[in-house]
Structure 1
Amino acid sequence: MLALLGGHLFVAKTDIAVSKVAAATKIEAVSAKAKINNIQNNKAQHKAKPNILILFFDDMRFDSFSYRGGPVPTPNIDALAAASTRFDMAMTTTGLCSPSRAALFTGRWGHRTGLDDNVELWHSRLSELDPNQGGIIRRAKDAGYYIGYVGKWHLGANGPQKRGADFIGAFEKDDKEAVRPFTPDSDLEQVRGYIAGKRDANGEKHQYYETLPGTYEDTITSEKVRSGQEFLHLAAKKKEPFFGVISFQQPHPPYRVPEPYASMFDPDKVTLPVNHMAARVDTPLSQEYPYWPWHDVSHMNEDDWRKARAHYYGAIAMIDHAVGQIIETAKKEGVYDDLHIILLGDQGSMIGEHGLYDKAAYAYDELMRIPLLVRDPDIAPRIVNRHVSLMDIPATMSEWMGLAADGESDGRSLTPLMKRGDVALSDEEDRAFYAYEWYNGAWFGLRAIRTKQYKYVWNPGDKNDELYDLINDPGEMTNLAPNSAYKEQIRNLRGQLLDHLRAVHDPSAGRLEKLIARTGG
């Protein structure tokens, strides 16, 4: 209310009070709106920078889980599969630990990174992945992520620390640079003993299978779970988003597990695959030589193979328990609902298929194919049956985290397949590529292409290339490359392989060009 007093205009006290209330109300409204905007901005920022957890396993085959119809009940991994995109045709880049891990953490083939062999092992010429290859860990750190790394690295001493990791756990021998590479003298004596008829404790062959003393709680696997749980506990309290890797040694051969896992599967009831101990005909000569002492399997009888496979299945069951513990911890810490999870193996492994054990420079499916589950809580679960590569995982994570590029990327984001399924990739694009340049100091230069029906393996160090009809011969027991009736298929696949090698600037492209020119395809 206005009043004229002594020639001056005054505002009544009641009007002042009303004005103050209105102003306060306006301030509260603005403040409330600001709070809502802040919440929305925080949500948007969180959505742009999601929390990510990789569950990484060593030499884990694609075919053992119950969600794939395999022989091992895996309820925890099955539950994760049901909440994820299942990539049932995922392939590794190289069937060897260090090169496949380098590809995962850099998104580049070995000819770009210089890491194309195992490190710090007998005959290997390499000691580490070049620290200048900072990869996904360094890029995530630079983008403001809290970084945790637990377990096996196998790319040189202190690699995650050099790339900015904040939390390191259960890191074992990878924290020290090796003065000399690991040389398997004692393993050679052990295998020589098997050939002479000797056995280890409990009548076992510990280079292939072993019942460990103690319980699950005494295992390295359990140690890694505890360390991973500690990381999740700390990460949950941080303001910044987190990126964590829990990397397990299991189920890498030899297959060593405690009870009850060691006797969980009856060896006599284990089903051996059709290509178990299958004769290798028209295959590279390199497959006939043991590159490690335990590759000599001449002493292994059917009972030994069954026991080795039963112990492998026990290792998968133990892994499933570990996955369950990690998932439960993520839920307990309140980070699960928005958590992006990737579960994968670095490559597979041989358990008697083609008469082979462990791994070496070949491209059989038991080694080349990997399990891959990708959980994005904002994308509905589905099954994808198109070929994808381990190389596509860093490209996908880079997209999730909005990371700046740090050089060439040889992968593609998996998001379109996760959102749209198989239709997101054409039939012509439905293929995967594979390389095996070195194996512990021995050169092979192998390159391979896998399509829905065929797998072609180029072996430049041998007279025998390989061609398998994966539909009619899923066990890859008949090499069709020498058969003149398949000239056109080989010509076509070589052409596709050459296009790929050129696209990624692989130096081996020139050599394949010469082969094609000399042979007319």
Structure 2
Amino acid sequence: MGRPNVLLLLTDQERHDLVDPDGVPVETDAIDGLAADGVRFTHAFTPISICSSARASLLTGLYPHNHGILNNVHEPDAVRADLPADVPTFGTALRDAGYRNAYVGKWHVGRTATPEDFGFDYLGGSDDHHDAHLSAGLDSYQRDHGIDPDEIEPRDPVYAEFDGSRDLLGGTLPIPPEATRSAFNAELTLGRLEQLAHEEPFFHRVDFQGPHHPYLVPEPYASMYDPDALPPWPSDAETFDGKPRVQERYRQYRGVEGLSRDEWDRLRALYLGFMHHIDDQIARVLAKLDALGVAQNTLVVHASDHGDFTGGHRQWNKGPMMYDDTYRIPLVVRGPGVAGDGRVCDDLVSLMDLMPTFLDAADASVPDDIDARSLWPLLRGEDGGRDAVFGEYHGDEMGLYSQRMVRTKRYKYVFNAPDTDELYDLDADPHELQNLVDHPDYGDVRSRLRDRLAGWMDATDDPIAEFTTRHLAGE
């Protein structure tokens, strides 16, 4: 069959447990179908739970401290506003290898640079908040569906309140499902696939803007999940006892400290409805692959840039907290060469590992100096996983805030530069409620993980390694 086509279905801020059969009770039939025919990774992680930084790591196979996009590029305090053009990416490498690349939806890797600068034909579907100069087509698309985009006002909205201002968190979108941005991105994808099916091999990437907040969800999805019937997240039991002080204070910073239980439950129901709606758009895309006769030769990947608290640990959105709620992500792969049929892989892997995975699929050269490793040994059912994954955080719109993380199957250690560190035994405490960093029974574990984290920082040229390793060594 030759080199496979590749279809990347990326969501924005999707929790890992939305596609776990034992996780959150949301219907994701299309993604479940991918998993039934392929491989579902249970321990996939993002290297950072910030949109711009994670997306740049996906493109480059580098940790954020090596590609330089340390926080969101659209904010005034962005450390770097654009990914340097000379950093190798899978987009340019695939284009040079003869692939026809296309990109739909959210970009968010640069203020001025676009997907066109990194090997993709950009088709639209982004949004003003992230790429004002790229936003095109949605307004006219909605008008074709009888919707005036300037007159859309959510029903029954939920707001965060802080410093005399309000931030929209979610509400019912008073338009038909086929007029949403998610549907528009799917529609753009369907049209492009019809063109690309005659020009194999191709790479197509569609980046849905959800289920990122604000959770603006059309009916019937807005009412599909009964807020009163949703079980609480287990991490709702968070007390902040023994935790870094920023965690409790971040609730006030986000303006969600005063949300009622009913408001939290409504937001969770909207979040699940949002994901259900996106899954239905993914189903349209997968059906098009079948109709075009190219599904058998297409590697299909579903992942997300990072997760979402949605009230977990009594938090909103994301921030300087390295819990699995935001660092653990969904990852499902189906296609030629994948030993699938519903296989579940528990090996530790990273979002950025997709970069060399795509290049290996295309028989393209993988750069020697990347931090990622190809998933193909695991996709073929062989050994090749990591025994630990690492994460980092540098701050969002609230300024710089340094964190580093090492996560094994059983343990997680978090270095917090301004405050107390964290240690969790995930077998005994899977929801990360008890910080064991000072527990005498975990002294050996603490030392071992500190050494591992310090070694990783040195090996990857982390700029704060010199100072951090002194702390981790107890100096």
User: Does the TM-score normalized on the shorter chain lie above 0.5?
Assistant: yes
Counterpart residue type for residue 89 of structure 1: H
Quick one: distance in 2 between partners of 1:97 and 1:75? Answer: 26
Confirm whether residue 331 of structure 1 aligns to residue 308 of structure 2: no
Q: How far does the alpha carbon of each residue in 1:26-56 deviate from its partner, in whole angstroms, 9 at most, with x for none?
A: xxxxxxxxxxxxxxxxx4xx2xx32111000
CA gap of 1:292–1:142, structure 2 versus 1, over 3 A, is farther
Q: How far does the alpha carbon of each residue in 1:321-347 deviate from its partner, in whole angstroms, 9 at most, with x for none?
A: 011000001111221111001100100
Q: How far does the alpha carbon of each residue in 1:253-296 deviate from its partner, in whole angstroms, 9 at most, with x for none?
A: 12110100000011110100222162112222222334996x12
Counterpart residue type for residue 448 of structure 1: M
Which moved further from structure 2: 221-230 or 495-504? 495-504
Percent of pairs identical after alignment? 34
- Residue number among 436, 457, 460 corresponding to 1:480 in the alignment: 436
Quick one: distance in 1 between partners of 2:157 and 2:196? Answer: 45
Counterpart residue type for residue 402 of structure 2: G
- Residue number among 372, 389, 393 corresponding to 1:432 in the alignment: 389
Counterpart residue type for residue 444 of structure 2: E
Partner of 1:17: none
1:393 match: secondary structure? helix
Quick one: distance in 2 between partners of 1:479 and 1:111? Answer: 27
- Residue number among 72, 78, 84 corresponding to 1:124 in the alignment: 78
CA gap of 1:513–1:69, structure 2 versus 1, over 3 A, is closer
Counterpart residue type for residue 236 of structure 2: H
Aligned residues of 1:453 and 1:469 also touching (Cα < 8 A) = yes
Q: How far does the alpha carbon of each residue in 1:126-155 deviate from its partner, in whole angstroms, 9 at most, with x for none?
A: 322112224111111111110100000101
| Deviation, structure 1 residue 515 | 1.6
CA gap of 1:299–1:292, structure 2 versus 1, over 3 A, is closer
What's the C-alpha RMSD, in Å, of the aligned pairs? 2.1
Confirm whether residue 112 of structure 1 aligns to residue 59 of structure 2: no
Quick one: distance in 1 between partners of 2:157 and 2:364? Answer: 53
Q: How far does the alpha carbon of each residue in 1:486-507 deviate from its partner, in whole angstroms, 9 at most, with x for none?
A: 2211100011112222222222
| Deviation, structure 1 residue 419 | 1.8
Confirm whether residue 394 of structure 1 aligns to residue 355 of structure 2: yes
CA gap of 1:65–1:163, structure 2 versus 1, over 3 A, is closer
Partner of 2:116: 161
In the TM superposition, 1:291-370 aligns within 5 A as 295-370=254-329
Confirm whether residue 514 of structure 1 aligns to residue 474 of structure 2: no
| Deviation, structure 1 residue 201 | 4.3
Aligned residues of 1:93 and 1:103 also touching (Cα < 8 A) = yes
Q: How far does the alpha carbon of each residue in 1:174-222 deviate from its partner, in whole angstroms, 9 at most, with x for none?
A: 55469xxxxxxxxxxxxxxxxxxxxx84364472220000111111000
Partner of 1:12: none
Quick one: distance in 2 between partners of 1:120 and 1:339? Answer: 34
Counterpart residue type for residue 220 of structure 2: P
| Deviation, structure 1 residue 476 | 0.8
Counterpart residue type for residue 451 of structure 2: G
CA gap of 1:514–1:212, structure 2 versus 1, over 3 A, is same
In the TM superposition, 1:365-380 aligns within 5 A as 365-380=324-339
CA gap of 1:391–1:328, structure 2 versus 1, over 3 A, is same
Quick one: distance in 2 between partners of 1:105 and 1:499? Answer: 25
2:193 match: secondary structure? helix
Larger Rg belongs to: 1
Quick one: distance in 2 between partners of 1:291 and 1:507? Answer: 30
Partner of 1:202: 156
Confirm whether residue 272 of structure 1 aligns to residue 232 of structure 2: yes
Gaps of 5+ in 2: 135-153, 160-166
Q: How far does the alpha carbon of each residue in 1:7-41 deviate from its partner, in whole angstroms, 9 at most, with x for none?
A: xxxxxxxxxxxxxxxxxxxxxxxxxxxxxxxxxxx
Aligned residues of 1:135 and 1:406 also touching (Cα < 8 A) = no
Aligned residues of 2:82 and 2:113 also touching (Cα < 8 A) = no
CA gap of 1:395–1:291, structure 2 versus 1, over 3 A, is farther
Which moved further from structure 2: 275-284 or 164-173? 164-173
2:115 match: secondary structure? helix
CA gap of 1:449–1:66, structure 2 versus 1, over 3 A, is closer
Confirm whether residue 503 of structure 1 aligns to residue 459 of structure 2: yes
Quick one: distance in 1 between partners of 2:422 and 2:84? Answer: 33
Aligned residues of 1:150 and 1:224 also touching (Cα < 8 A) = yes
| Deviation, structure 1 residue 469 | 1.1
Confirm whether residue 171 of structure 1 aligns to residue 117 of structure 2: no
